[in-house]
Amino acid sequence: MYTHRMQRSFPCAGRSAVFAQRTSGLVRSLCAALALLFLCACPSLPRKPVEEPPPITEPSTPSWVKEPMSWHKLELIELWLEVDAARHSRELVIEAKLQLNEGRLQFSRRDIDSSAAPRETLLVRVESARKGFEEILADPAVSAGARNRAQLGLKGAASLVQAPTGKDLAILRRQQWNARAPRVSNLTPLKGAWSRITVHHSAESTSDPRGGSLEDSAATVRIIQKYHMDDPTHRWGDIGYHFLIDGAGRIFEGRELEWQGAHAGGSNNQQNIGICMLGDFERRAPTEAARKSLQVLLDDLRGRYRIPAERVVPHSSFGSTRCPGPALTAWLKKYK
Ligand SMILES: [Zn+2]
């Protein structure tokens, strides 16, 4: 094609063709040199068309985000973290890890309370949650809010492993009575080992002396927590007692055992577990069910922390109070 065109441009054959070839070579070299000069003089002009980068598409919201907490949700998060998380923001990945480990703790608490899973299985699950929270805390880019949640998660994991789980000792966890989150900054971590136990009564008249419903007792525990946390004379980080027992013998988890209690006054709280019996025992004794639960709880805690029976005392032993009332104090004196 090219040759054919050249021949048509230069119809004279022979010398003319040779001249034409030489001339065209010269012209081409000159044009190339000029083009190069032109391009060098105008570096801003594109030398060749630049390929457009592919459009950036936002990854769609993962399905686990709107899923209510369930085992299925935890499976979705695990899968997402494995195969899809790299395309998403760091914040969403941290949120996924937080929800995964909070879910593991939530289901472990439920299974402990209902004895639905062997303890060994629960310990493995709690351990993986603990490691997950530690991994989040090790990330320097984690926000203050996420850090706080991970720290609470770690404490929750520790309390779950330490909490009494004996067959006769069903403890109603904080979430089951709808506890408020503690103000961690107002709490004092336990220093040393638990070495004594102090028994109180709540001296309120809202709880049913025979026990009443779970919801009634949970409401009373919430009122006590609110009083301890919000009343200007207190403003504590959480409910002051570690355990509370209602007239039906239900045991409620109060302040977690990572923290020193607030129930015996000042240094009397050090290494001192606080148990509160719901009701006023000035004139009457606690129900048999409540006394039985107190006995089981005391036995368990004493065994766990090697506390001798003589270190289980009524609040009145610290002076300036009649708490927990004469009947309960008399019962404690007989407790062995
Ligand atoms: Zn007291």
CB atoms within 10 A of CB 7: 12
156: CA distance to ligand 1 center in Å?
26
11: CA distance to ligand 1 center in Å?
121
Q: Are the C-beta atoms of 196 and 311 separated by less than 8 Å?
A: yes
Class of domain 189-334: alpha beta
| Predicted local distance difference test score (pLDDT) of residue 60 | 85
pLDDT bucket at 309, cuts 50 / 70 / 90? very high
Average pLDDT over residues 225-243: 97
307: CA distance to ligand 1 center in Å?
20
Q: Are the C-beta atoms of 237 and 229 separated by less than 8 Å?
A: yes
| Predicted local distance difference test score (pLDDT) of residue 125 | 86
pLDDT bucket at 13, cuts 50 / 70 / 90? very low
pTM over 0.95: no
167: CA distance to ligand 1 center in Å?
28
Sign of CA dihedral 181, 184, 186, 189: positive
Among residues of the chain, what percentage have pLDDT more than 70?
A: 78
Domain positions in the chain: 68-162, 189-334
Q: What is the pLDDT of residues 19-56, one digit of tens each?
A: 445 545 545 555 455 444 444 444 444 555 566 666 55
322: CA distance to ligand 1 center in Å?
8
2: CA distance to ligand 1 center in Å?
108
| Predicted local distance difference test score (pLDDT) of residue 58 | 65
| pLDDT tops 60 at residue 264 | yes
Among residues of the chain, what percentage have pLDDT more than 90?
A: 57
Average pLDDT over residues 160-187: 79
317: CA distance to ligand 1 center in Å?
10
| pLDDT tops 90 at residue 274 | yes
315: CA distance to ligand 1 center in Å?
5
| Predicted local distance difference test score (pLDDT) of residue 76 | 95
263: CA distance to ligand 1 center in Å?
6
201: CA distance to ligand 1 center in Å?
6
| pLDDT tops 70 at residue 165 | no
184: CA distance to ligand 1 center in Å?
23
Q: What is the pLDDT of residues 129-148, one digit of tens each?
A: 988 998 999 998 899 999 99
Q: Which residues pair with 198 in a beta bridge?
A: 274, 313
| Predicted local distance difference test score (pLDDT) of residue 320 | 85
326: CA distance to ligand 1 center in Å?
12
* DSSP secondary structure of 107-119: HHHHHHHHT-S-H
More confidently predicted of 165 and 333: 333
pLDDT bucket at 170, cuts 50 / 70 / 90? confident
* C-alpha R_g of the chain: 37
53: CA distance to ligand 1 center in Å?
71
